[in-house]
Chains A and B, each alone.
Chain A
Amino acid sequence: MDNNIIGLINLQGPNYMAELSEARPMASEPFAGKFRLIDFALSTMVNAGVDTVGLLLPFHSRSVLDHVRSGKEWNLARKQHGLFYLPIDEADEITQPRRGDIRTYYKNLRFVERELNHYLLLSGCDVVHNIDYNQVLHSHRSHNADITLIYKVMDEDSVGEGYIVTTNDSGHVTGFTKTQSIKKGDKLYLGTALMDGSLFVAMVRRAYAQDPNQYLSDVLARNIGHPRIYGYEYKGYAKRIHSLKSYYDANMDMLNLDNWKAVYRQDRKIYTKVKDEAPAKYMADARVSNSLIGDGCIIEGTVENSILFRRVRVGRNAVVKNSIIMQNTVIGEEARVDRVVCDKNQEIQPEAFLTGRKDKPLCIVKYDVV
Chain B
Amino acid sequence: MRKIECLAMILAGGKGSRLGVLTKNVAKPAVLFGAKYRIIDFTLSNCRNSGIDTVGILTQYQPLELNWYIGNGSSWDLDSDHGGTFVLPPYMNDKDSSNWYQGTADAIYQNLNFMDMIDPEYVLILSGDHIYSMDYGTMLAFHKKHKAKVTVSTLRVPMTDASRFGIMNTGDNMRIVEFEEKPAHPKSNLASMGIYIFDKETLKKYLIEDAARTDSDHDFGKNIIPRLLQDRVPVYAYPFEGYWKDVGTFESLWQANMDLLADNPPIRLNDPKWRIYSGSQSLPPHYIGPNASMVSSLAGEGSVILGKVLHSVIFYNVVVEEDTQIIDSVLMPGTVVERGAVVDHAILGERCRVQAGCEIHGQSGAIRVYGNDDIIPGPNANTLGHSVPPVKGKEEEKKGAVVNG
Binding site for B on A (CB under 8 A): 32-35, 72-73, 255, 257, 260, 263-264, 269-272, 274, 276-296, 298, 307-309, 311
Contacts and interface: CB of A to CB of B under 8 A. Distances in A.
10 contacts: A279-B299, A279-B300, A280-B286, A282-B297, A286-B296, A289-B288, A289-B291, A290-B290, A292-B288, A295-B301
A257 B304 contact: yes
Interface stretch (B183-191, B225-233, B270-278): B270-278
A269 B269 CA distance: 26
A308 B280 CA distance: 20
A288 B293 contact: yes
B93 interface: no
Contact of A279 (B269, B293, B296): B269
A4 to B, nearest CB: 26
Contacts of A32: 284-285
B64 interface: no
Given A277-B270, A289-B289, A283 B284 contact: no
Contacts of B276: 276, 278
A276 B296 contact: no
For A280, A284, A287, the residue with the greatest tally of chain B CB atoms inside 10 Å of its CB is A280
Contacts of B34: 279
| A-B CB proximity, top 7 nearest | A33-B285, A278-B269, A279-B35, A278-B270, A264-B284, A282-B294, A290-B290
Contacts of A264: 283-284, 302
Given A279-B36, A279-B269, A292 B285 contact: yes
Interface in B140-196: none
B269 A286 contact: no
Interface of chain B, main secondary structure: loop
Contacts of B295: 282-286
Interface of chain A, main secondary structure: loop
A250 B15 CA distance: 48
A288 B294 contact: yes
A276 B277 CA distance: 6
Contacts of B280: 73, 274, 276
A288 B291 CA distance: 9
B287 interface: yes
Nearest to B291: A289
B125 interface: no
B334 to A, nearest CB: 10
Given A282-B298, A295-B301, 18 more contacts: A32-B284, A257-B304, A260-B287, A263-B284, A264-B284, A269-B282, A276-B278, A279-B34, A282-B296, A283-B263, A284-B296, A286-B294, A288-B294, A292-B288, A293-B286, A295-B36, A295-B285, A298-B270
A332 B299 CA distance: 22
A59 B287 CA distance: 35
Contacts of A286: 294-296
B292 interface: yes
Interface in B120-150: none
Interface string B296-329: 1111111010000000000000000000000000
Interface in B353-390: none
Contact of A270 (B270, B275, B284, B299): B284
Nearest to A296: B270
A241 B275 CA distance: 34
A77 B301 CA distance: 25
Contacts of A34: 284-285, 301
A260 B284 contact: yes
A263 B284 CA distance: 10
A291 B277 contact: no
A272 B282 contact: yes
Interface in B241-286: 263, 269-270, 275-278, 280, 282-286
Nearest to B297: A282
Interface string B211-246: 000000000000000000000000000000000000
Nearest to A300: B263
Contact of A33 (B282, B284, B299, B300): B284
Interface string B41-68: 0000000000000000000000000000
A278 B276 CA distance: 7
